[in-house]
Copies of this chain bind each other. A is one copy, B any other.
Amino acid sequence: MKPRLQKTDRLRRLAQVIEDDPFITDRELAGVFGVSIQTVRLDRLELGIPESRERTRRLAEEATNQVRSVETGEVIGELIHVKLGQEGISVLETDKDMAFRRTSIVRGHHIFAQANSLAVSLVDAEVALTGTAAVKYLRPVKAGERLVAKAEILSRSGRRHVVKVTTKVGHEDVFAGEFTVFAVEEPEGSVRTQGGVLIEDCP
């Protein structure tokens, strides 16, 4: 039963080698293991590993589906008008890196991010954190469209601010949301991760 041992071992390592270098061809693999191309193909078949072009294609697909995070800057979009504690407007130019490749429809979290960061920046406090959010996506946004978000503070009780944000493309509403944002004072260096920031929401 020596060949059998050799085989299972080879299968294991084959999978590993392919994982390490998904671009490798059967011909190269045959060289690596000192077996024929056909053997490599049978092995792949057994392991359910697709051909190299297919592997490559999948990698590429993943790549283009990879979701780029929102900007890491302080604010998403450009604040073009802010009345602290009252209202504000921000503008975000969308591009296709923010969108699904297939459809060019901008991913929801970018729109959320703009609205959220606008809401937060309206609150007049050292630090403000989002407590809850209830949002609606009213119409898909295509890459390239210019998002104009307007926010106003609807009410305030203590630290709790209710902020309404509506986002438009031209004259059309594309997004609306209500955020509760909490002002937080920092007790200088201490951390208070716990308990400070949570509240009810709609059911």
List chain A positions with a Cβ less than 8 A from chain B. 20-23, 53, 56-57, 59-64, 66-70, 72-77, 97-98, 100-105, 107-110, 112-113, 116-117, 120, 126-127, 129-140, 142, 184, 186, 191, 193-199, 201-203
Q: Beyond A105-B193, A107-B117, A127-B100, is A134–B137 a contact (Cβ under 8 Å)? A: no
What's the number of copies of this chain in the assembled complex? 2
Contact in complex: A131, B127 (CB < 8 Å): no
* 5 residue pairs, one from A and one from B, having the closest CB atoms: A63-B63, A59-B60, A109-B113, A202-B202, A108-B130
Contact in complex: B102, A186 (CB < 8 Å): yes
Contact in complex: A70, B110 (CB < 8 Å): yes
* New A-B contacts (4) at CB < 8 Å, excluding given A56-B56, A103-B127: A20-B104, A23-B61, A72-B97, A140-B193
Cα separation A203 to B198 with both chains bound (whole Å): 19
**A59 CB to nearest chain B CB (Å):** 4
Contact in complex: A59, B63 (CB < 8 Å): yes
Contact in complex: B134, A202 (CB < 8 Å): yes
Chain B residues positioned under 8 Å from A139 (CB to CB): 193-195, 197-198
**CB contact between A67 and one of B56, B76, B103 (< 8 Å): that residue:** B76
**CB contact between A72 and one of B66, B98, B194 (< 8 Å): that residue:** B98
Q: Which residue of B lies closest to A201 (CB)?
A: B136
**A28 CB to nearest chain B CB (Å):** 15
**CB contact between A193 and one of B57, B142, B184 (< 8 Å): that residue:** B142
